[in-house]
Amino acid sequence: MSDSVKPGPHFLQLPGPTTTPLRMMEAIARPTINHRGPEFRALTVEVLEGIRTIFKTSGPVIIYPSSGTGAWEAALVNALSPGDAVLMYETGWFATLWCRLARKIGLEPELLAGDWRSPVDAEAIGARLREDKAHRIKAVCVVHNETSTGVTSDIAAVRRAIDAAGHPALLMADLVSSLASVDYRHDEWGVDVAVGGSQKGLMLPPGLSFNALSEKAIRAAETSRMARAYWDWAEMLDANRRGFFPYTPAINLLQGLRVAIEMLNEEGLDAVFARHRRAAAATRAAVARWGFETQCSDATAHSPVLTAVRMPEGVSADAVRDHALERCNMSLGNGLGQLDDRVFRIGHLGDFSEPLLLGTIAGIEAALGYAGVAHRRGGTEAAIAALSGTGMAGAADMAA
């Protein structure tokens, strides 16, 4: 048998892109339709209304044919002006990248230091805003679920901190890896601009991104002096009101998005969120059994969508990933930035079931053995115990 032949399905256990269900693939594979015709207008109206239920907002959601990075930029160039100060918090690699983007386009971002293991410190944000008597800071930008570290932050607490400081700054939140996987309430939490992507909890291929907007954000865009064309909210909102887009949209991905929204609502968002939380708890039980730490050090902030596993000093995380790919036909996420080769990331989001999760954990345990990494056996049993409610003690007994 050729080395390139790997029987069975590939385990795509990244924290995105995630596996696209067959039902969505079939929708995407349907013939491309006229993006100026009545059939497309009906599709536009349906997905623009449906995506609001996922963000839990009554306001507009703009859909771009882009990656999440494009929606980051769209959020900033529409609501802000050159030289505006922006307050950000360093939860990990993606918070850092958003800060770099802000600087490149002519804003003045201030990044509050974090340790890459903890969530956003809302009190620190509130304290910094109270110092800003002149209200130079025009927006607070935070990552809801930091994909590089497996840490989820309390967005509602950030809004409370802004309000308690009596500060008028906009609140922007990156939901790229949390949308449709972690509870998020755009209107209730008072977020002004939310950034999302298609390739994670929505279970679609990469290629769509989102900005969910508040009325305050739309008003801010009216006085913004940033140059923009492709990302312009005003042009998008005007075209969307008529059921169309100002330029050629990602037609086939929108066909898939309609199915994604249907599937999420059929399962029920609360059930989707609970499924992700169960998977995360089971994965952490396996990691603890193996004898490793998670990158997230705050027990209240563990991500429901991914687990970043810290390797002991001197042990290559990439070696584990290499063996997982070659011997188990499984892709795991790599460490990013300062976590390069220090962690591997297990994605448990999107279209998955408990048997798929258990197969993933068994494959990782095998890869640890193939890589010669010292660990305690029994991670799969620990995960089963977590899923069945028998607890860690029962798992330890079974694996002893």
Outline which parts of the chain fall under CATH 3.90.1150.10.
268-399
Is residue 288's pLDDT more than 50? yes
Specify the residue for token string 């013939």.
31
Is residue 371's pLDDT more than 70? yes
pLDDT at position 398 is 37
pLDDT, mean of residues 120-140: 98
pLDDT at position 7 is 86
pLDDT over 70 for what percent of the chain? 96
Distance CA 13, CA 193 (A): 29
Distance of CA 108 to the CA centre of its chain: 25
Distance CA 392, CA 154 (A): 27
pLDDT per position as a tens digit, 199-253:
999 999 999 999 999 999 999 999 999 999 999 999 999 999 999 999 999 999 9
φ, ψ of residue 115 in degrees (nearest 5)? -105, 5
pLDDT at position 3 is 59
Q: Domain 22-265: give its CATH architecture.
A: 3-Layer(aba) Sandwich (3.40)
pLDDT, mean of residues 47-71: 98
Kindly report the pTM of this predicted structure.
0.95
Is residue 297's pLDDT more than 70? yes
pLDDT, mean of residues 140-160: 98
pLDDT at position 391 is 60
pLDDT per position as a tens digit, 167-176:
999 999 999 9
pLDDT at position 400 is 38
pLDDT, mean of residues 150-167: 98
pLDDT per position as a tens digit, 384-400:
999 999 765 444 443 43
pLDDT at position 390 is 72
| CATH class for the domain made up of 268-399 | alpha beta
Outline which parts of the chain fall under CATH 3.40.640.10.
22-265
pLDDT at position 341 is 98
β-bridge partners, 345? 308, 333
